[in-house]
Amino acid sequence: MEYFLKGGKTVVIRKPVIEDAEELISVIATADRETLFLARNPDEFCPTVEEEKNMIAGLENSNMIWFVAEYDDKIVGQCSVGLVNGYQRYRHRASVAFVVLAEYCNIGIGGRMMEECLKWCADNKITQVELGVVATNERALSMYRDFGFEVVGTIPNALRYSDGSCVDEYNMIKFL
């Protein structure tokens, strides 16, 4: 799906294809170096191109969907949404996760990816969408609140950085 952004440019939100594997690895590796808001240190993400291709190919029949954000003909972000658990009692719940490269933040790409994730949830009869966000990530918190997510809990010291400092993580939920 093509969306107009702030400033008149467009972003295409689409499913990844096998040919995206190398670029996706680069996007995640770059994002891991740019921010402390993601789950891992940069040296902890090291899939091979073949492993990434297999991951892309394996998503075709799963309980989730993966999107990439293409801006000026390059991938600048990705997101995923999927069931938190395949058991029937959990099938009303989905979890979302996002990555946007720093230089492409604040122009609407994250919001357009969220729209696609929420469409998938509606199409799959999901009534509860969940996410975790670092408590100090004000930009992400603002976007999630704009979409109707509410903080329902805090995990103290959820992430421990290499310098020994810790940061809390909020659990957020949106009811559809």
- Domain ranges in the chain? 2-175
| Section 108-118 average pLDDT | 97
Of 21-35, 55-69, 134-148, the poorest mean pLDDT is in 55-69
Predicted TM-score of the model (pTM): 0.94
- CB-CB neighbours of 169 under 10 Å: 21
Contact 41, 162 (CB under 8 A): yes
pLDDT higher than threshold 80 for residue 60:
no
CA distances from 117 to 52, 67, 100 (A): 21, 8, 15
Q: Which amino acid is at 69?
A: A
Q: Which amino acid is at 156?
A: P
| Section 76-81 average pLDDT | 97
In Å, the largest CA–CA distance within the chain is 44
Rounded CA gap, 29 and 25, in Å? 6
Phi/psi at 112 (nearest 5 deg)? -70, -40
Both tokens assigned to 145: 């609140």
Which runs of consecutive H residues, i.e. helices, occur in 35-137? Answer: 49-58, 109-123
Rounded CA gap, 106 and 109, in Å? 8
Both tokens assigned to 6: 């702030």
Contact 34, 101 (CB under 8 A): yes
Q: Check residue 53 and give its pLDDT.
A: 94
CA of residue 119 relative to chain centroid, distance: 15
Query: Which superfamily, per CATH, for 2-175?
Result: Gcn5-related N-acetyltransferase (GNAT) (3.40.630.30)
